[in-house]
Amino acid sequence: MPAPEFQHTVGKTASFSGTALHTGDKVTLKLQPAPVDHGIKFKRKDLQDEPTIDAKIENLKTVERATTIGEGSVRVHTVEHILSALSAMGVDNAIVEMDANEPPIGDGSAQPYVDLIKKAGVTAQDEPRKFFDVREPMHVEAKTGALLVLLPDDKFRISCTQAGPNNQFTQFLSMEVTPAVFEREIAPARTFVYYEDVTPLMEKNLIKGGSLENAIVVRGDAVLSKEPLRFGDEFVRHKILDIIGDLALVGRPIRGHVVAAKPGHAANAELARSIAREQTRRSSMAAPRTIPTGDGGLDTDEVMQILPHRYPFLMVDRIINFEGDNKITGVKSVTINEPFFQGHFPGHPVMPGVMQVEAMAQVASILLYKLTKTSSRVGYFMSADGVKFRKPVFPGDTIFIHAELTRARGNRMAKTKCYCVVNDAVVSEGELMFTFLDK
């Protein structure tokens, strides 16, 4: 097992100043250390009472051109580049203090923020990092044609396809996002804009700080910028930069593979929202449930009087419910100590599907035992039909194993419909057949 990763903050306060993109005003940003589980918060030093805003997706206000977050009437604009740098460089906890409503735009890339983070230093704290582990594919699609798919992976990876109008400047890049890769390959990539999109904004004076110093302007086939392109595929790199920044609003690092086609702030934010929703669902599911004991069910001892199975092959901890004569529910808490996790798979523990079938068979046998009401015969698992594994089961999951008797022929054979449920979702199912034999 890899050593646990710890949360990190910055070692000391560091600051830098520059121009705000939208107002054109001068702004000073101070990056400050914060305690564990604090997350990233923006602080408006220029306002009365110096309000703070959590960099969380629930505070997202608008995604036009840039990502804006806010609480109450307080806003912070264009947070995606600094969030991208903090997230990719492994800073979990920090205060971003500013004396204006947006960070200095710098050169339109995340380079100034990486420099700032390195100036402040990154230090480990004494609490483990909390990740969002992708368990099953998720996806979002936007009217703009943006498509984002998130797949399980034990690393944070992004594979991105960027395409301009008429598929001009189509670029593809795939990478694992680590601090070193981010600093070298992604941080220097600058914002790019289309001439037709920015002219109306310039006319309305909405981007007073905007210039060729902090953006690449694409006009037709021409690429206008103060300095030459930093990478042949600088555009897709900046798209990846923005994805990292917008997904940072999830509030915890992601272990998963983002596959993005024509991404934009709106679609990125939508994916962040889905992830946050899934995270909330999981934490509420993790809350302890009341599992009844007593009359309704059987405790471990009673289960072991019926089943001959023993560690490590006893796959049911307790029977929590009998419904009539033909339904039963058992429960099994899956822990990392299950011996099968050592080899299935090293570094990525998933409960083998056959063990779930075994759990169904054991719970069903208990139902059959109750049915025959005789201790001289025992149901033997004979065959399984229509077995489906729908979702992976991980250490820490509690499996509710349901079995229903669908057919019984005298004292010779029985058919049961079984399914396993984790977090209110069916993870596996199948039809199990039993034959009765003398003990």
Minimum distance, C-beta of residue 191 to Zn ion, in the bound complex (Å): 5
In the set 8, 238, 257, 265, the catalytic residue is 265
Minimum distance, C-beta of residue 362 to Zn ion, in the bound complex (Å): 55
Minimum distance, C-beta of residue 283 to Zn ion, in the bound complex (Å): 31
In the set 139, 344, 348, 402, the catalytic residue is 344
**Which one-letter amino acid corresponds to residue 333?**
S
Minimum distance, C-beta of residue 355 to Zn ion, in the bound complex (Å): 46
In the shown chain, the binding pattern of residues 386 to 425 toward Zn ion, with x for contact by CB under 5 A and - for none, equals ----------------------------------------
Nearer to Zn ion, 202 or 425 (CB): 202
Nearer to Zn ion, 30 or 238 (CB): 238
**Number of residues that make up the chain:** 439
Minimum distance, C-beta of residue 109 to Zn ion, in the bound complex (Å): 8
In the shown chain, the binding pattern of residues 139 to 178 toward Zn ion, with x for contact by CB under 5 A and - for none, equals ----------------------------------------
Q: Are 108 and 191 in contact (CB under 8 A)?
A: yes
Q: Are 66 and 11 in contact (CB under 8 A)?
A: no
In the shown chain, the binding pattern of residues 178 to 207 toward Zn ion, with x for contact by CB under 5 A and - for none, equals -------------x----------------
Residue, CB closest to Zn ion = 242
Long-range residue pairs from 35-38, CB within 8 A, at least 24 positions apart, any chain: 35/9, 35/93, 35/125, 36/7, 36/9, 36/92, 36/93, 36/125, 36/126, 36/127, 37/7, 37/93, 37/127, 38/9, 38/93, 38/94, 38/95
Q: What is the DSSP letter of 185?
A: I
425 DSSP β-pair partners: 422
Q: Rounded to 5, what percent of the chain is helix, strand, coil?
A: 25, 35, 40
Nearer to Zn ion, 93 or 191 (CB): 191
Alpha-carbon distance of 87 to 268, in angstroms, equals: 15
265 is catalytic: yes
Nearer to Zn ion, 242 or 270 (CB): 242
Minimum distance, C-beta of residue 105 to Zn ion, in the bound complex (Å): 10
Q: Which stretch binds Zn ion (CB under 5 A): 228-236, 239-247, 267-275, 413-421?
A: 239-247
Residue of 97, 102, 107, 242 interacting with Zn ion (CB under 5 A): 242
Q: Give, in degrees to the nearest 5, the angle at Cα 289 between 288 and 290.
A: 125
Q: Which stretch binds Zn ion (CB under 5 A): 44-52, 237-245, 261-269, 370-378?
A: 237-245
Footprint of Zn ion on residues 243-272 (CB under 5 A)? Answer: none
Nearer to Zn ion, 92 or 242 (CB): 242
Q: What is the DSSP letter of 169?
A: T
Q: Report the side by side order of strands in the sheet with 68-71.
A: 60-62, 68-71, 74-76
Alpha-carbon distance of 251 to 133, in angstroms, equals: 13
Alpha-carbon distance of 316 to 306, in angstroms, equals: 12
Nearer to Zn ion, 189 or 298 (CB): 189
Alpha-carbon distance of 23 to 13, in angstroms, equals: 26
Minimum distance, C-beta of residue 31 to Zn ion, in the bound complex (Å): 19
Count residues near Zn ion (CB under 5 A): 2
348 is catalytic: no
Taking CA atoms, 259 is separated from 148, 153, 338, in Å, by 6, 12, 33
107 counts as binding Zn ion under rule CB under 5 A: no
- Residue 305: which of 190, 129, 439 has the closest Cα? 439
Please tell me whether residue 370 adopts helix, strand or coil conformation. helix
Q: Are 254 and 243 in contact (CB under 8 A)?
A: no
Strands 6-10 and 192-194: unpaired
**3-state SS, one letter per residue, for 294-353:** CCCCECHHHHHHHCCCCCCCCCCCEEEEEECCCEEEEEEECCCCCHHHHCCCCCCCCCCH
Minimum distance, C-beta of residue 70 to Zn ion, in the bound complex (Å): 19
Nearer to Zn ion, 106 or 349 (CB): 106
Nearer to Zn ion, 242 or 338 (CB): 242
The residue behind tokens 């929703």 is 277
Alpha-carbon distance of 171 to 262, in angstroms, equals: 10
Nearer to Zn ion, 191 or 214 (CB): 191
Minimum distance, C-beta of residue 387 to Zn ion, in the bound complex (Å): 47
The residue behind tokens 């030459």 is 228
Q: Which residues are marked as active site?
A: 265, 344
Q: Which residues make up the interface to Zn ion (CB under 5 A)?
A: 191, 242
